[in-house]
């Protein structure tokens, strides 16, 4: 516990304002001044007497709260760093690799904010890496290199106790740190939301373990100065028109190394609207294509597995990708997506060229196995640079591979496919779908105007009486 016996008491200060008088008890712990204001002299004297009584009894004072140990909750006896590690470890076995990574990211800046002093003897980036990659990684913590172990021991010694969360100023400081990057710029809104979710779960665990009595995070509208306005709607500028998509996919197809394989990947996203981690997990046996001479060339893709890329240090298998069920679906659930004739031709040619059979991955790397995310992103960045003009390249137009999915879902909605059907194909709920793509739906305004007019008009005003 971070405590001290070095206590000094000062005379109670009195401030006479226009409307009321404030009495502030002042004391000092190891040179740091603490203050507690009261509305009456009796309350101030009573509080000061309690502090002095504890000091005369030889009681230690907490450096986190300034109060005698007897005045504190159980939180004063538990260091934040130790509790954060305990939280990570109990969560590890029952959560996904991606969630493990997000928890580590969320706890890292908070832990640095809850230090008695900042680690000036270490580089900030090294401290963050030590916490994120080792301290908050159950499998790697004991494998930390010597230089990392030194940093973690220093952090453990200098960590404040959980009682720090009982101070409003500390809570605000920690939240501000969690919402700021190392260079001082704000984190992305999605990262801010994720961090708050992680902290809420941690505090629920702390309450369950009786370390804290209540969740210290601010509640209610305008409760936190760190709040960031966010929007889940797709930026319409990121959507590709058919000519732009054709040029980008054509350039990728013509790449001398792996171009045709990557073209199949991007075409599946563009035509079927699947997520990248779903496309790389498609089994050839789940591609239902008609015979080449059939009149109807529409097929189906049966999606039931995803391979999100999270990093081998976070997975139980040591692989870069983790095998998971579909996002937002129950374990073992499936989703069927229509495969339009253009995609049917692409997939049939790809399967025949690669000599694939049921049980094989549809999308594979050059040496087999999952197609690497770095290869996908690098190819897409290069295609944008080569195909788009300088102005377009600097805009959000197709900036992310995921924008192919956004474009596909938008095209379906604009073609008049009911929102419930698009939501089913996309693996979204209808409310999420409409919230995300409402700004991108167009091409139906003239029809809507005619429908409104058919509802009729009010009769014209009667002629005035003579």
Query: Which of these, 216, 250, 306, 265, lies nearest to 404 by C-alpha position?
Result: 265
Of the chain, the end-to-end C-alpha distance in Å amounts to 95
C-beta separation of 101 from 140 below 8 A: no
d(CA 142, CA 108) in angstroms, rounded, equals: 18
Which DSSP string corresponds to 274-303? Answer: --HHHHTT-BGGGEE---TT-S---EEEEE
Q: What is the reported pTM?
A: 0.72
Q: What is the pLDDT of residue 436?
A: 87
CA angle, corner 398, sides to 392 and 403, nearest 5? 160
Which DSSP string corresponds to 309-376? Answer: B--TTTSSSS-SB--B--TTS-TT--EEEEE-HHHHHHHHHHHHHHT--TTSBSSB-TTSSBPPHHHH
Q: What is the pLDDT of residues 147-164, one digit of tens each?
A: 999 999 999 999 998 988
CA 374 to each of CA 40, 192, 319, 371: distance values in angstroms, whole numbers, following the listed order: 65, 25, 14, 9
Q: What is the pLDDT of residues 381-397, one digit of tens each?
A: 999 999 999 999 999 99
Q: Which residue stretches of the chain have pLDDT < 70?
A: 1, 72-73, 220-232, 441-448, 466
d(CA 171, CA 173) in angstroms, rounded, equals: 5
Q: What is the pLDDT of residue 189?
A: 82
Q: What is the pLDDT of residue 223?
A: 46
Q: What is the pLDDT of residue 464?
A: 73
Q: What is the pLDDT of residue 222?
A: 44
d(CA 452, CA 224) in angstroms, rounded, equals: 44
C-beta separation of 288 from 413 below 8 A: no
d(CA 313, CA 432) in angstroms, rounded, equals: 32
d(CA 210, CA 347) in angstroms, rounded, equals: 57
Query: 3-state class of 145 per DSSP?
Result: coil
Q: What is the pLDDT of residue 466?
A: 59
How many Cα atoms are found within 13 Å in the side-chain-facing hemisphere of 460?
Answer: 2
């Amino acid at each position: 516990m971070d405590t001290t016996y070095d206590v000094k008491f000062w005379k109670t200060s009195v401030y006479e304002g226009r409307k009321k008088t404030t009495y502030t008890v002042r004391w000092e712990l190891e040179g740091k001044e603490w203050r507690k204001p009261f509305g009456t002299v009796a309350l101030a004297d009573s509080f000061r007497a309690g502090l002095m009584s504890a000091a005369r009894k030889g009681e230690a004072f907490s450096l986190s709260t300034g109060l005698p140990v007897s005045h504190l909750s159980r939180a004063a006896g538990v260091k934040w760093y130790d509790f954060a590690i305990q939280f990570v470890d109990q969560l590890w076995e029952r959560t996904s690799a991606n969630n493990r990574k997000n928890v580590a990211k969320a706890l890292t800046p908070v832990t640095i904010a809850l230090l008695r002093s900042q680690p000036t003897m270490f580089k900030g980036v090294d401290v963050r890496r030590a916490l994120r990659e080792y301290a908050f990684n159950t499998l790697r913590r004991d494998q930390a290199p010597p230089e990392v172990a030194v940093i973690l021991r220093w952090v453990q010694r200098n960590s404040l106790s959980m009682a720090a969360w009982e101070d409003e100023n500390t809570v605000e400081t920690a939240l501000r740190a969690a919402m700021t990057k190392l260079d001082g710029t704000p984190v992305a809104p999605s990262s801010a939301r994720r961090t708050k979710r992680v902290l809420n779960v941690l505090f629920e665990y702390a309450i369950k373990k009786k370390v804290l009595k209540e969740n210290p995070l601010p509640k209610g509208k305008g409760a936190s100065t760190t709040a960031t306005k966010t929007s889940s709607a797709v930026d319409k500028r990121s959507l590709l028109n058919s000519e732009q998509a054709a040029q980008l996919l054509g350039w990728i197809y013509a790449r001398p190394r792996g171009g045709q394989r990557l073209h199949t990947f991007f075409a599946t996203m563009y035509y079927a609207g699947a997520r990248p981690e779903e496309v790389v997990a498609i089994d050839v046996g789940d591609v239902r294509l008609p015979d080449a001479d059939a009149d109807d060339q529409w097929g189906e893709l049966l999606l039931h597995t995803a391979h999100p890329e999270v990093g081998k240090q976070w997975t139980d298998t040591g692989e870069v990708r983790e095998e998971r069920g579909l996002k937002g679906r129950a374990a073992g659930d499936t989703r069927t997506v229509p495969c339009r004739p253009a995609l049917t031709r692409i997939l049939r040619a790809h399967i025949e060229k690669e000599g694939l059979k049921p049980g094989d991955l549809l999308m594979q790397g050059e040496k087999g196995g999952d197609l690497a995310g770095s290869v996908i992103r690098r190819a897409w960045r290069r295609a944008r640079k080569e195909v788009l003009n300088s102005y377009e390249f600097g805009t959000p137009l197709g900036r992310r591979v995921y924008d192919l999915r956004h474009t596909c879902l938008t095209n379906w909605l604009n073609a008049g496919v009911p929102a419930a059907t698009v939501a089913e194909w996309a693996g979204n709920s209808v409310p999420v779908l409409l919230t995300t793509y409402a700004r991108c739906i167009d091409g139906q305004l003239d029809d809507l105007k005619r429908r409104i007019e058919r509802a009729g008009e009010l009769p014209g005003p009667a002629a005035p009486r003579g």
